Structure 1
Amino acid sequence: MSNVFVIDSEYQPLNPVHPARARQLLTQGKAAVYRRYPFTIVLQQVADEPEVRPLRLKLDPGSKTTGIALVNDTTGQIIFAAELSHRGQTIKASLDRRRALRRGRRQRKTRYRKQRWQNRRRKQGWLPPSLESRLANILTWVRRVCRYAPVRGLSQELVKFDMQLMENPNMTGMQYQQGTLQGYEVREYLLEKWQRACAYCGKMDVPLQVEHIHPRAHGGTNRISNLTLACELCNKAKGTQSIEVFLGKKPDVLKRVLTQAKKPLKDAAAVNATRYALLERLKATGCPVECGSAGLTKYNRTVRGLPKSHWLDAACVGKSTPMVLTQKGVVPLVITANGHGSRQMCRVDRYGFPRTSAKQAKHVYGFQTGDLVKAVVTSGKKVGIYSGRVAVRTTGSFNITTEQGTVQGISHRFCQAVHRSDGYSYWHRTSTPLPQ
């Protein structure tokens, strides 16, 4: 597993240690568990620790998932890795439902009520809530990792980093297309746009070739809208035929390909809309920020022979990437943003009118819904040990969602908090996801 974060008795970050060393400190009583996710221990007394080694936190921001990697630039060791899943689409769907209910109430057979949305002014740099949540998730975890590890620099995948111009200051014109990064930017875009599958037969996990929808032999161009991905068999079978002839017997596939070719990359648009806002907020943390392009990230990963994944992409961001990255024993922590509950005071029916009473107390006997608890039941019909997410009730009788299912009617007296609800759920890539 990944290294364990360590903070001293004054809550200052120290060098992360191997899990075996952390287990030894806990067994000897020299440290205590400070936090479960990410796993962090705190030293019980002041100890002579070696000089703190600076680390670099690398980010690969994405529309749905962001890769996070903590790397030692000197040794090339990956200290910590995580994949953060966002909830932007969930937020957008919730806002759409709320908007529909409000419009429905306004347009019924009642007195006319003027729309008020134009009365509100948006401040400079405003972003939609679905995009703002992505930035908030990333910044939350940047602050957490910086709190538990000696981070001295940040790397973000943002813009093209011109390595060719650094090597040859006189490079101009078409020489850029013939250098080390040739084809990486375009191919990466096409892989995302066509879901890493052959556009004609739908095969995945096979070598894909860049293909011209309208053949160049018939006047086709190299514009992105005219490019797609095809497996070798489909590419050879199509040859210089027009796509209408090649897919004449597959009208549904023809319609899908032509529609997808004109369709913009929605996820890329979301990342582009937030990348500079994220850069400014990262700079506000006080750490120096390094930027790198998606093409450079893929080039670094390809040269080092690493498989495709979000956290390995993050480890390869920027020119500071060591030539050798040590990933042995690293198990990425999968983080899913769930939010902190709903601000809606009561549930509504399909017409938008209240159908339940107002919410009760959020905290019940020191617990709140979403806490990860361990319940050791010693009496009654449900004797046993249960670990999972808790749903509180004002009566003190809780429900616990475990890997095997939901156990109802567990008294608060048997519950012990393992990890307080913080708006995220966690699991390691090699284990079963924790209940939501």
Structure 2
Amino acid sequence: MMSKILVIDQDKRPLNPIHPARARQLLSHKKAAIFRRFPFTLILKESHPDATVSELRLKIDPGAKHTGIALVNDANGEVVFAAELKHRGFAIRDALTSRRQLRRSRRNRKTRYRQPRFLNRTRPKGWLAPSLQSRIDNIKTWVKRLRKFAPISAISQELVRFDMQLMRNPEVCGKEYQQGTLAGYETRQYLLEKWSRQCAYCGIKDVPLQIEHIHPRAKGGTNSITNLTLSCEKCNLKKGTKNIKDFLKKDPKRLEKILKQSKQTLADAAAVNTTRFALLEALKATGLPVETGSGGLTKFNRQQQGLEKTHWLDAACVGISTPKLIIKGVKPLLITASGYGSRQSCRTDKFGFPSRYVPRNKLHFGFQTGDIVKAVVTKGKKVGRYLGRIATRSSGSFNISTKKGLVQGISHKYCKHIHKKDGYGYIA
């Protein structure tokens, strides 16, 4: 079994996904045409009003850096489409920091006596930082796209939760909640993410890990999350009640790394924790029934079926509705949120001073930077076929980034659109 191909009819209504062999047959007999490259979708040239359509469930496993997406047929457990969406939230955060620094420097030079205006801006209810809002917008975009090309009737979302306040201060709530299985589960999952699922003392992976107190409880250590780490059984027994500085006195670099990392918060967990309910409301706004599941249920479903841990398989295992999955031959589409470029009117050097002008016109000869094109060059020094993303120039001489490298100086006359720029990069 292979990954299915999405199909829409002549009226652009989604039909059942089909086998790649059937898709090749339809294309060779000219009964269908390529409607979209990413995700690969065919449009039939004849309408089929009586065609029966099997409903699919869209499953989403949201994360700070990557989000898993899967289309599952609940009736037979077949995964018909899978994707892994890479977000650009941290890139947006860094870009905003850079812009703020440049703006402050410029205002300090040019309008030194300008009155501060940081108190005259109000934020609407439910406002999220741009780096967080972009994650929700990316998922909303792909939910909307997939609904156009697949008969989706329900959505499942994983509600990932880390109770930061409880882990930081175990005395914040009642004794029963502190010692319940939920508190222990959240602490362990948080530590697995924070310490990269490996022993903090020897770095070994893929072994049972134990929760370890950096500063031993026998010597006054607390249960605060900043005093917890993960270690293998061997290192845990070897350390015992020793002070970490005595235990790692022969390895000062690792000691410094552990002490530094123990004080850091888990930025990824905080990002997911902040956006999970905003994403849930956005999914409910589609009008489809939305099922929610916990991270523990996702892990249980995945382990029960003996599946490896990947973003798209985690998505396929979200929710109590998960059937016995059929994943043979499924290859996920790797999607990277790249944005639409910068709106800066000029580029700056490393000191923040203007260095060169940026043209405002982005479209040249019907092409813009970021489009995926196919160029068939028939004469000159660069005869051949090239497929990749282009960087345009007003002269009409484009650069094409192919799998084999950068090809410069290809005329726009040889270029043909494969997929227009849409703010995302793809690896099929």
| TM-score normalised by length of structure 1 | 0.89
Return the offset for 1:175. 13
What is the letter of the counterpart of residue 259 of structure 1? K
What is the letter of the counterpart of residue 424 of structure 1? Y
Between stretches 109-118 and 3-12, larger displacement belongs to 109-118
Return the offset for 1:408. 1.1
Q: Which residue of 1 aligns with 2:211?
A: 210
CA 1:116–1:76: 2 relative to 1, 3 Å: same
Q: Which residue of 2 aligns with 1:290?
A: 291
Aligned equivalents of 1:390, 1:270: Cα separation in 2: 33
What is the letter of the counterpart of residue 381 of structure 2? K
Alignment of 1:37-436 (within 5 A): 37-47=38-48, 50-108=51-109, 111-158=112-159, 177=180, 184-215=185-216, 222-322=223-323, 324-350=324-350, 352-428=352-428
Between stretches 390-399 and 47-56, larger displacement belongs to 47-56
Query: Unpaired segments of 5 or more residues in structure 1?
Result: 161-171, 429-436
Aligned equivalents of 1:182, 1:361: Cα separation in 2: 55
Contact 1:185 1:295 in 2 (8 A): no
Return the offset for 1:224. 3.6
User: How big is each residue's C-alpha offset from its partner over 1:103-128, in whole Å with a ceiling of 9 and x where there is no partner?
Assistant: 11222375411233332221111111
Q: Which residue of 2 aligns with 1:15?
A: 16
User: How big is each residue's C-alpha offset from its partner over 1:284-320, in whole Å with a ceiling of 9 and x where there is no partner?
Assistant: 1111111111122112111221111111111111111
What is the letter of the counterpart of residue 386 of structure 1? Y
User: How big is each residue's C-alpha offset from its partner over 1:68-107, in whole Å with a ceiling of 9 and x where there is no partner?
Assistant: 1111112111111111001111111111111111111222
Contact 1:185 1:294 in 2 (8 A): no
What is the letter of the counterpart of residue 334 of structure 2? V
| TM-score normalised by length of structure 2 | 0.90
Alignment: residue pair count: 414
Q: Which residue of 2 aligns with 1:431?
A: none
Aligned equivalents of 2:352, 2:185: Cα separation in 1: 50
DSSP-derived class of the 1:116 partner? coil
User: How big is each residue's C-alpha offset from its partner over 1:342-397, in whole Å with a ceiling of 9 and x where there is no partner?
Assistant: 11123234554544335142221211111111100001111111111111111111
Contact 1:188 1:294 in 2 (8 A): no
Contact 1:91 1:129 in 2 (8 A): yes
What is the letter of the counterpart of residue 252 of structure 2? P
User: How big is each residue's C-alpha offset from its partner over 1:253-303, in whole Å with a ceiling of 9 and x where there is no partner?
Assistant: 233323323322111001111111111111111111111111221121112
Q: Which residue of 2 aligns with 1:169?
A: none
User: How big is each residue's C-alpha offset from its partner over 1:132-157, in whole Å with a ceiling of 9 and x where there is no partner?
Assistant: 11111111111111111111111111
Q: Which residue of 2 aligns with 1:33?
A: 34
Contact 1:184 1:298 in 2 (8 A): no
Between stretches 141-150 and 209-218, larger displacement belongs to 209-218
Query: Unpaired segments of 5 or more residues in structure 2?
Result: 162-174
Return the offset for 1:39. 0.5
Contact 1:59 1:317 in 2 (8 A): yes
CA 1:11–1:386: 2 relative to 1, 3 Å: same
Return the offset for 1:184. 4.6
What is the letter of the counterpart of residue 413 of structure 1? K
Aligned equivalents of 2:177, 2:111: Cα separation in 1: 66
